[in-house]
Amino acid sequence: NAGVMQNPRHLVRRRGQEARLRCSPMKGHSHVYWYRQLPEEGLKFMVYLQKENIIDESGMPKERFSAEFPKEGPSILRIQQVVRGDSAAYFCASSPDAGGPAYEQYFGPGTRLTVT
Amino acid sequence: AQSVTQPDIHITVSEGASLELRCNYSYGATPYLFWYVQSPGQGLQLLLKYFSGDTLVQGIKGFEAEFKRSQSSFNLRKPSVHWSDAAEYFCAVTPGFGNEKLTFGTGTRLTIIP
């Protein structure tokens, strides 16, 4: 069973361009989380999605950021008109279900976004 | 709102010595507690987790953690560290019950010296 896949692993964008980050959860997982890690900081929650639904987007910046998890295909985190402050590592995690003692989030390797 | 504090930003330990990384949380009830490890340029790997029951939890790679409700702590320990343990360690909590978003501490960077 392949782990959580993220691509690209590294992404360079100029200010004002769009960045699209993709996350394929583990097989059988229907819950996806996105986290952002700024340099020298811990991970900060951004958004929690289930198939075709945004469950919690309380950590998403109000502008320029959006996320989706369609019925088919990977989850996408989209950043429009990127600025230097968006430079960070973006991690995706997936889980098979919410709650319970067996609960665990499995993390992907991350996408490192650099805005020049 | 829940929060996690890792008071030690950087710890240096000699190979073979014991290790304890501190984690304190703030939450109204008993949350679900996790320790993750991140090697440079990599994603996060779960070391161990606590939901309920026995307050001493065993994890992978020889790590263990003890939940102490009275101190709101969940410290990570290892009796004898190996050079391969050098990494960043994150403590995290989630309230459970349908929204499992993790709140992370700022991390502790572990350096191992020969």
pLDDT in tens, A6-15: 999 999 999 9
Partner residue opposite A48 with nearest CB, options B36, B52, B101: B101
What are phi and psi for residue B102, nearest 5 degrees? Answer: -90, 135
Three-class SS of residue B52? Answer: coil
Q: How confident is the model at residue A35 (pLDDT cuts 50, 70, 90)?
A: very high
- Note the pLDDT of residue B51: 84
- pLDDT at position A101 is 61
Give the pLDDT confidence score for residue B1 in this predicted structure: 74
pLDDT in the model for residue A81: 98
Sort out which chain A residues have CB atoms less than 8 A from B105's CB and list them. Answer: 42
Closest CB to B99: pick one of A42, A56, A91: A56
Q: Are the Cβ atoms of A44 and B99 closer than 8 angstroms?
A: no
CA gap B39, B104 in Å, rounded = 16
Instruction: Say if the Cβ atoms of A43 and B99 lie within 8 Å.
Output: no
Residue B73 has pLDDT above 60, yes or no: yes
Residue B68, both tokens:
């102490």
Between positions 30 and 69 of A, the ones with CB within 8 A of B are: 31, 33, 35, 41-45, 48, 55-56, 59
Q: Which residues contact B48 (CB under 8 A, 6 or more apart)?
A: B34, B35, B57, B58, B59, B60, B63, B64, B65, B76
Could you tell me where the beta strands, DSSP code E, fall in chain B? Answer: 3-5, 10-14, 19-21, 24-26, 32-38, 44-50, 56-58, 64-68, 73-78, 87-94, 103-104, 108-113
> What does the CA dihedral A90, B8, B88, B46 come to, rounded to 10 degrees?
-80
**Chain A residue numbers touching B98 (CB-CB < 8 A):** 98-99
Would you give the DSSP letter of residue A26? P
pLDDT at A104: 82
Mean pLDDT of all residues in chain A? 92
The answer to whether residue B29 scores a pLDDT higher than 90 is no
Kindly state the tokens that stand for B49.
């987790």
Alpha helices (H) in A37-114, listed in sequence order: none
Give me the pLDDT at residue B35, please.
97
Segment A43-49 mean pLDDT: 95
Chain B residues lying within 8 Å of A103, measured CB to CB: 32, 49, 51, 96, 100
Q: What is the pLDDT of residues A56-83, one digit of tens each?
A: 999 999 999 999 999 999 999 999 999 9
Q: Select the residue from A9, A46, A107, A112 to test the B interface by mutation, using most B Cβ atoms within 10 A.
A: A107
The percentage of chain A sitting over the pLDDT mark of 90, rounded to a whole number, equals: 74
Q: Closest by alpha carbon to A67, among A84, A52, A86?
A: A52
Q: Where does the pLDDT of residue B99 fall: very low under 50, low under 70, confident under 90, or very high at 90 and above? A: low
A100-105 long-range Cβ contacts below 8 angstroms, 24+ apart? A100/B51, A101/B51, A101/B52, A103/B32, A103/B49, A103/B51, A103/B96, A103/B100, A104/B46, A104/B49, A105/A33, A105/B46, A105/B100, A105/B102
* C-alpha distances in Å from residue A60, one per residue of A114, B20, B64: 19, 34, 34
CA distances from B113 to B12, B19, B79, B82 (A): 7, 13, 16, 9
Whole-angstrom distance, CA of residue A46 vs CA of residue A90: 10
Whether residue A102 is predicted with pLDDT greater than 70 in this model: the reply is no
The shortest CB-CB distance from A45 to any of B51, B52, B103 is to B103
Q: Position of tokens 């987790």?
A: B49
| Section B61-74 average pLDDT | 94
Average pLDDT score over residue span B69-77: 94
